[in-house]
Structure 1
Amino acid sequence: MRSEPTNLRLKRPNSTYLESGMMRFAASLLIGLIVWCSAPSSAWATFLEWNAASDKRDLQQWHPWGDGIVSLDGPWELYWNRLLEPDDFADGSPGSSLTVSIPAQWKSYAINGQALTNEGYATYRMKFIISGEVAGQPLGLYVNNVASAYRFWINGEPMNGNGTVGTDATRMVPRSYPKVYFFQPHPGDNEVVIQVSNFAQRTGGIWESLELGDAEEIASLHRNRVMVWTLLTGCLLLMTVFSFFLYFFRKQERAALWFGLICLAICIRSSLLGESFVYVLFPGLSWEWGVKLEYLSEIATILSLAAFVNKQYPQDAIVRIFPLFVASLAGFGAFVLATPAKVYTQLMVPYIIALLLPVFLYVTYIYIRAALRQRTGSRTNMIGFLGFFVTVIHEILYYTGFVPFGGLVSFGLLFFLLTQLLNLSLLFTRAITQSEMLSIELNKVIESQEETIRQRTSSLQALNVRLERGNQELSRIEHVRSTLLAEAYHDLSTPITAIKGFSKAIKTAVISEEEAPIYAGRIYERSLMLEKLIDNVVELSQLKTGEIQFQFVEVPILPFLRKLSHRYAAEVNAQGIALLWEEPHFALPPGKELLVALDRFRFERVFANLISNAVKYTPGEGVVRIWIEFRPAEHSNNGPVVIHVTDSGTGIPESELPHIFKRRYRIPLQANTGSGLGLAICTEIAARHQGKIGVSSKMGEGSDFHITLPAKIGDSRADTDRHAEGGEDEHDHSAD
């Protein structure tokens, strides 16, 4: 732990020395470029005097199929501030001219020691001689950028041009991008006449070479250049999409967003440079807006680059500088939008020196600083950016006229992108390797703990199932309790109200002393009714919630029912109604009984209730019959047994039959003294016996209540006989 600070102290002097060396190098480079680019154009001008005649370019020894493409660099006749056509040369020389070479800007030429300006118009003329063999095949002329409009003729034949040539800014329409022309040469002398005008930008004249070659080779060259620039633009566009998607899925990766903006800006700029195919894709795009887009995309590239490196290495960034870059470059961008190209292109050198170069030096400083501090991927980034920076310096020299070709910035950026991809690949490789190692370790842990995890998972799942069932049961019980509580409140309110009324009447002497015993009897009756109602509510609640435990035993049903019928017969007969037990019509095998699993006490509760209801709605001298039927399945000793309690009473309306087993339901227009809970209790008890209760009835003929229970034919045993006879205890069930 103590060695790390010591190592840091040892490295700091060396790092500080290198950083100060970088600052001195950046300052020297900046000063050198300022001096070089600020030198007057006359210091670099090529001074050629007027002459009376111009030489011809001798290409008789040139064979395009073997020697390849040749550059028509001179000699050219230059007629300053004159727009001449081939007819003007038919009768001889139209006047004095300069003999010049191309590519060069007009300001590099001088007349009588006075340098020309890049604003104006002129005519170029060249004669070249080719052999008859070469003249037998078509040739191609590759015209690169000419500032800023031109038209030309070859051997007197007009070859169109680019833009509109004019003698002032109002007559001229700028248009500048590479084009290819094909023509049939003449054996011997051939003539090229080119009119050029520029009132739109800082560069004027034929400042890129004209290339002459076989038609197929020129076409192939043009096609290859278009393919290269298209491939470059496509790669940048793919990188843009990839970076934006990376930022979209990982918003914290701000560096990916800025990197995508760099790629997008250079993609736009690359489509405007080189072969400038964007003008072919969008013919309506004016040259003026094309140049604005070129500058603005460059500004966006520089700002995004500074933001990208700040996000990439925040520990090494100088955050205070970035707002200055934004303010200065955004101000120049607004100036570009507000002024024509003729104005802002004149400031290109100050713009490069004062605005662009400091940003590049800052980014270089950050990358080198990160490399010295051994940040992840910093060395690869530094190498890639230095390659990019070299192409930027080359581009500066190209636009200031010190090198003959440009357009390498996009390729430098592509190299920088490749280093970024290399870094990304290394990061992914490391991440995958680390992930694989962690996966192997995790698998080992999982294998060692697999059985424990499986057991704990199984236990948790079982516990979860039990908890869910318990929760469902608690919810059901709570629902039943709340429902029964509401119903009990409704049912209890009536007898309580009567008791309160009668008691108050007796207390306040509203009722005479002679009538007081009568009302006291009514109070007693209401109290009994209230007690029975409370017992029924409690019992129904316990049945619904499953709190009552049933004691099931196999009972021979025939002796059991016969015994119950005889027990209740005396009570029923006392009311003038006959209770009859009817022996079944089916026969059982010898030594066999019809067995039913019963809770004797609860079943007798149902039986008593049905007998009580039958007696209640049967008039005097009526009959209540108890009978049974057995419906075994085919070739089986098992099947349902149906126990009937049939009366000859008043009957139940058919419309009321579906409702009589509901809680608190009472048949309208009938005298009802019960709580309406009895049949609901019977339904719950029958359901706990895996059975059901039903009814059929006709008005004026009586009703038939029947209980269906599962039964089987089995051996008669001593214990079943004891249960059939009622056991040792008898129960007194009062019906509702």
Structure 2
Amino acid sequence: MNTAMFLVLILVVFLLFSLFSGHIKQETPHTEPGYADLTGFDFSNKLAYLLHTSFLYYKNAYYTPEDFKTGNVAQQGIDLTGVDVRFNPGSYGTYRMVLKLPMKESYGISAYSAMYSQRLYINGKEYPSTGIPGTTTDTTIPKSNHYTIYFTPEQEQTEIIIQFANFCHADYGGVLPLYLGSQQMITARDAVVQQRIHIFLGCTVTSFLFFLGLFLFFSKRRAFLWFSIACFTIGVRILVVDEKVIMLLIPNLPWELSIGLEYLSLIVLVLTFLFYINSMFTGALHKTTLWAFGVVCTLYALAVLVLPAVIYTGFMLWFQLIAALFGIYVAAALIYNVARKKENRHTEHLLIFTGVLIFITLSILDIQLHRSGMNFLMLGLSETGMIIFIFVNMLALVLQFSRTEAELDTARRNELQMQETNRLLDRMSRMKSDFLADISHEMRTPLTVIASYAGLTTLQIRKNAVDKNTLDNLETIKREAIRLAGLVEQLKDVAMEKDRQLVLTGADAVSLLREAAEFCSPICLKNNNRITVNANSSCIPLRVNTDSIFQTLINLIINANRHTKDDIIQLTAQIQPLYAVITVADNGDGIDPKLLPKLFERGVSGDGGTGLGLAICKEVIEEHGGEIIVDSTRDKGTAFIIKLPYKNE
């Protein structure tokens, strides 16, 4: 938004400068047919704006100052008073006007040369011609240029004679209005015009480079490309139209190339302007209609490139008519689009409408002022309208870009929040899945124990051999059933999304080992294994979750039993300064060395199991602030070493 406000400030300053700087008064004096008495005209403060109607015109004849001096003129001059500026003067002719000026003063004339070749005489002196006027196409060399000449009257009357010829353009030729003033005023007028041209060119070139650069960085924003091309073509038109600045840069530029650039720049400007509008108001213009007008522009551009000027210039009126009709369609389509779509009612769209309206209004006003001889701005209104259009649309594009960037930032923040939420949900889902997998794995042990002890008890009852062992077996079944109920309760808590809490109580490591050994002894009988318990102290106090540590010991003993036969599984407990060390060791198959680095990862198993048991053991021990490591040698056995914080009584 700071950039937008900066552009607004530039626009306001530029408009004030363009409208009020270099203000030079001008006036269309009263004239008679071919004569004007300007002795009372205030040349010190204003310019005389002389229309074509001030001249007498001699059609299809070239007359020199000597011819008028000797009376060698075969026809009566045509009075142009009241004749429209668009009248047809024929293919060539002579314009003559006599001025009564204060003598001994230096004067200047600043004007656009006659269309489309000119020879100029002032008081009998011939000035450098623009092209070469002839009586046929072959003898005429067309050229157009803006010129400024200075002269000092040595007698009471000043004679101006302009010869012209037009065999190359379908439009009517003839002289155009000229500025007459003191040398100082004409010099000031030309300086103001050149200053404004330089400012306008600087603005268009800067806009072209700026938005072309934006397009190179943001290639999906086609509006930047179309607008940059439009700025470039406006700059070309400033060079080739009106003051013909391009002739200062390239004095020998052929007229055919100059007029071709003038027409091509107009075609490209109209076409890129429409593509720009279509990019800013997506879907407003029907594609078929847009491409149809694009084909018309392309065909006319090809005509300019390959046909003689006298032919393709005749099509300009039709092109302007088609462009005007299409412009009406564009205006109606935009109004309908803005009324129907809320997304096209932003500030930038209103600015674009405003820029187009200002440009059209100033262009029409500029034409009217020139026709009436009341143009008080040198190179003013139409060119100023172009620059206003550029700046307003620059502001619109920047506003749209800023708004889009803000929306993208919001979308990025929302996307990041969504990604974080998804990561959290994925983590929670994985945690729940892992927990359910752990529970299902943990349920296997009590179910196995219950089944085993239930089978032993059944055999004892059938043989009427009920004794103390039978009661112990039933007590084991009861305890495992209670533990199984606890696991089911944990499942219920997970389903209700309650937090899982680890409840710690006091326990004795030696007692836990003995209970685990007693618990697993019937299971180990299947592989004819025995369990021994050794400790360097009669009591090793711990503060743990008894069920979790007990289940961990059972998992490790059962794993050892699967890989050992006809041997001993050794359980040991030792006190160290900070830890109680519990070891579960066997002399079985050992573990493949390739599995050791990832042995405690979920899903890793060397015997086709689920790969959850050791992962669960590691998680349980780490939850208690301890660690578990493995020491294994292939075919010699394995030892799992558990370190748990020692509770010093």
Pairwise TM-score range, normalised by the shorter structure: 0.5 to 0.7
**Counterpart of 1:69 in 2: which secondary structure?**
strand
Corresponding residue number in structure 2 for 1:209: 177
Corresponding residue number in structure 1 for 2:349: 378
The alpha-carbon distance between structure 1 residues 381 and 366, as it changes in their structure 2 partners (threshold 3 A), is farther
CA offsets 1:171-204 (integer angstroms, 9 cap, x no match) = 1111112110001113411111111111111333
Kindly report which structure 2 residues correspond to 1:34-183, keeping only aligned pairs within 5 A, or say none.
56-71=35-50, 75-92=54-71, 94-101=73-80, 108=87, 117-131=88-102, 135-183=103-151
Q: Does 1:316 align with 2:275?
A: no
Identity of aligned residues (%): 23
Q: Distance in 2 between matches of 1:338 and 1:402?
A: 37
Kindly report which structure 2 residues correspond to 1:273-672, keeping only aligned pairs within 5 A, or say none.
273-354=241-322, 356-372=323-339, 373-374=341-342, 375=344, 376=346, 377-390=348-361, 409-427=382-400, 430=403
User: How many correspondences in the alignment?
Assistant: 384
Q: Which moved more, 1:78-87 or 1:313-322?
A: 313-322
C-alpha contact (below 8 Å) 1:80/1:97 kept by paired residues: no
Q: Distance in 1 between matches of 2:290 and 2:349?
A: 20
Corresponding residue number in structure 2 for 1:196: 164
C-alpha contact (below 8 Å) 2:91/2:167 kept by paired residues: yes
Q: Distance in 2 between matches of 1:291 and 1:243?
A: 28
Question: What RMSD over aligned residues (CA atoms) do the two structures have, in Å?
Answer: 3.8
Structure 1 residue 83: Cα displacement? 0.7
The alpha-carbon distance between structure 1 residues 334 and 395, as it changes in their structure 2 partners (threshold 3 A), is farther
The alpha-carbon distance between structure 1 residues 381 and 54, as it changes in their structure 2 partners (threshold 3 A), is closer
**Counterpart of 2:141 in 1: which secondary structure?**
coil
CA offsets 1:196-247 (integer angstroms, 9 cap, x no match) = 1111113334442111101121012112112212321221121111111111
**Counterpart of 2:121 in 1: which secondary structure?**
strand
CA offsets 1:235-286 (integer angstroms, 9 cap, x no match) = 1121111111111001111111111111112221221112111122012321
Q: Distance in 2 between matches of 1:303 and 1:55?
A: 44
Q: Distance in 1 between matches of 2:40 and 2:369?
A: 32
Q: Distance in 2 between matches of 1:72 and 1:106?
A: 9
**Counterpart of 2:148 in 1: which secondary structure?**
strand
Q: Distance in 1 between matches of 2:291 and 2:367?
A: 24
C-alpha contact (below 8 Å) 2:45/2:185 kept by paired residues: no
Q: Distance in 2 between matches of 1:414 and 1:218?
A: 25
Structure 1 residue 415: Cα displacement? 1.8
Structure 1 residue 145: Cα displacement? 3.8
Structure 1 residue 127: Cα displacement? 1.0
CA offsets 1:427-460 (integer angstroms, 9 cap, x no match) = 4665787899999999xxxxxxxxxxxxxxxxxx
C-alpha contact (below 8 Å) 1:57/1:74 kept by paired residues: no
C-alpha contact (below 8 Å) 2:113/2:130 kept by paired residues: no
Corresponding residue number in structure 2 for 1:682: none
C-alpha contact (below 8 Å) 1:103/1:208 kept by paired residues: no
The alpha-carbon distance between structure 1 residues 294 and 169, as it changes in their structure 2 partners (threshold 3 A), is same
Q: Distance in 2 between matches of 1:428 and 1:333?
A: 33
Q: Distance in 1 between matches of 2:408 and 2:277?
A: 28
The alpha-carbon distance between structure 1 residues 55 and 249, as it changes in their structure 2 partners (threshold 3 A), is closer
C-alpha contact (below 8 Å) 1:119/1:199 kept by paired residues: no
Q: Which amino acid aligns with 2:330?
A: V
Corresponding residue number in structure 1 for 2:209: 241
Q: Which amino acid aligns with 1:123?
A: T
TM-score scaled by structure 2? Answer: 0.53
More RCO (CA 8 Å, sep 6+): 2
Over alpha carbons, which structure has the higher Rg? 1
Q: Which amino acid aligns with 2:271?
A: L
**Counterpart of 1:317 in 2: which secondary structure?**
coil
Any unmatched runs of 5+ in structure 1? 1-52, 109-116, 443-736
Corresponding residue number in structure 1 for 2:635: none
CA offsets 1:459-497 (integer angstroms, 9 cap, x no match) = xxxxxxxxxxxxxxxxxxxxxxxxxxxxxxxxxxxxxxx
Corresponding residue number in structure 1 for 2:472: none
Q: Distance in 1 between matches of 2:362 and 2:92?
A: 32
C-alpha contact (below 8 Å) 2:100/2:157 kept by paired residues: yes
The alpha-carbon distance between structure 1 residues 306 and 397, as it changes in their structure 2 partners (threshold 3 A), is farther
